[in-house]
Amino acid sequence: MKARFNSFGEIEIDGVCYPHDVVIERGAVRKRKKSASKAYRESYGHTPLSAEESIPWAGNSLYIGTGMYGSLPVMPAVYKEAEKRGIELVVDKTGAICRLLEESQPKEINAILHVTC
């Protein structure tokens, strides 16, 4: 899968540009729906990634791109849920995660990619 973090607020996946956060579940790309996490925004200063979102838990690993500057907070409950399920979390800035995704087969990829801060 070819993923490129082109610029602040935009990511390109297999030639398609997305101007919003995305979720990749076994290679299928969809928009991240973060409404379940908005209740935590005041506490974190930014809408975090919470375990209440629709997270692609299938597979052995989950990649989380935390934005251009690494500012997306990942709530402790996400780490706990991953541990409970035996899933390795790979959390880094979105550009670094995009480079890692290029080494994986699309059907093996589960990721949440933040496209701004």
Q: Which CATH class is domain 3-113?
A: alpha beta
Q: List, for residues 92-116, the tens digit of each pLDDT value.
A: 999 999 999 988 887 889 999 999 9
pLDDT level of residue 41 (50, 70, 90 thresholds): very high
Check the CA dihedral 72-75-78-84 and report its sign: positive
Rounded CA gap, 4 and 113, in Å? 11
* pLDDT over 80 at 63, yes or no: yes
**8 neighbors 116 (Cβ within 8 angstroms):** yes
pTM, entire model: 0.95
Domain boundaries, the chain: 3-113
| pLDDT given for residue 103 in this prediction | 85
Q: Please give the share of the chain, as a percent, with pLDDT higher than 70.
A: 100
Amino acid found at 21:
D
User: 31 - beta bridge partners?
Assistant: 22
Q: Which residue has the tokens 């935390």?
A: 66
| pLDDT given for residue 108 in this prediction | 85
Return the structure tokens found at 1. 């899968």
**56 neighbors 25 (Cβ within 8 angstroms):** yes
Cβ partners under 8 Å of residue 6, min gap 6: 12, 17
Q: Stretch 39-56: mean pLDDT, rounded?
A: 96
